[in-house]
Structure 1
Amino acid sequence: MTLFFTSDTHFGDPRVLRIDKRPFGTIPEHDAALIARWNETVSPDDEVWHLGDFALHVRPERIDELLGLLNGRKHLVIGNNDGPATLAAKGWDSVQAYAELHVDGHAVVMCHYAFRTWKNMGRGWIDLHGHSHAKLKPQTRQYDVGVDAFDYRPVTLGAILASRQRRRKTAS
């Protein structure tokens, strides 16, 4: 079992094509590409923490259908665009506004929103968030796990941490 993180899939939401300039011609193409990339990355035995903004402007049945199409056990950390149908969908193993995990020797706090400070920040805890669509300047130990930052697919903590190290090496 591998643990993955993602956020801001915005299934069904046409605004992401315009505002975030996602490289898809239509929302059906966008949704199909995100489903394909998710399932290329995540196996049925894996676990995914989705840090909010799963779907918008879709019927409740479509939310259940989307969750059924996506591999893995899924947890939702609620985002500002997650309505009652998303929260009530049967495909979530858990739904909460905030969560903490210990992953591969790292303590992690998770919320849809980026924190300015967070629990045990001075003790090395890591903040994973969404909401900013890869537009916030990174802070130490703070990472946007949204699909805009990671090739429109879920990502492991190891890949998240390595992404910052790669940027530092290319900047030197």
Structure 2
Amino acid sequence: MSTIFFTSDHHFGHKGIIKHANRPFGTVDEMNETMILRWNEKVKKNDIVYHLGDIGLMASSKLVEILERLNGKIHLIKGNHDDLNRDCKERFEWIKDYHELKLPDPDSVNNQLIVMMHYPLMTWKGKYSGAYHLFGHSHGKLTNFNRKTALDIGVDCHNFYPLSYEEVRLIINNNNL
């Protein structure tokens, strides 16, 4: 059985993101290799990954090499830096601007709606009935974004690891205590 993962904002190959997001890496190569290793520690070959944008900022030929090293079936929700990566589209199951996903909720007879977009939304479909909103783009800098069922899924917030659906549920449930 496949596990479902969510992540965002790897910025593979982007030297400037190290300083901008205060990442603990000395070089782009160190950053890339660490993130590939951490991705593959959790994600297995047949797992499903929803990447919420800004996967890389580098020549497509180099990014393809990195994408081929990543486990899982990757679905890309485009970020503001992903238009440069058109030549990598074969590596993705699909590419969209926005996606809604319904998953079984083990604590309910209902499904859990997950609204995904690269950018954080102030409101989203199902917000007042418990729908989750997963986003990236902000690199953990939205400290006043108090939305109990919204979560910045970017790697800068999660020690450069993708999060499983179970981990997302746990974080959101803890936010609502």
What is the TM-score with the length of structure 2 in the denominator?
0.89
Aligned length: 168
**2-side partners of 1:67 and 1:126: how far apart?**
27
Identity fraction in percent: 36
Structure 2's unaligned 5+ residue stretches are 106-111
> What residue in structure 1 maps to residue 108 of structure 2?
none
**1-side partners of 2:130 and 2:176: how far apart?**
19
2:59 matches 1:59: yes
Instruction: Summarize the alignment of residues 7-156 of structure 1 with structure 2, pairs less than 5 Å apart.
Output: 7-56=8-57, 58-86=58-86, 88-105=88-105, 106-136=112-142, 137-156=145-164
Structure 1 residue 159: Cα displacement: 0.8
* Corresponding letter in the other structure for 1:145: I
What secondary structure is seen at the aligned counterpart in 2 of 1:107?
A: strand
Structure 1's unaligned 5+ residue stretches are none
What secondary structure is seen at the aligned counterpart in 2 of 1:148?
A: helix
RMSD: 1.6
* Corresponding letter in the other structure for 2:47: D
Structure 1 residue 63: Cα displacement: 1.8
Segments ≥4 residues shifted beyond 3 Å: 164-169
**2-side partners of 1:23 and 1:155: how far apart?**
20
- Confirm or deny: 8 A CA contact 1:60 1:89 kept in the other structure: no
**2-side partners of 1:88 and 1:61: how far apart?**
8
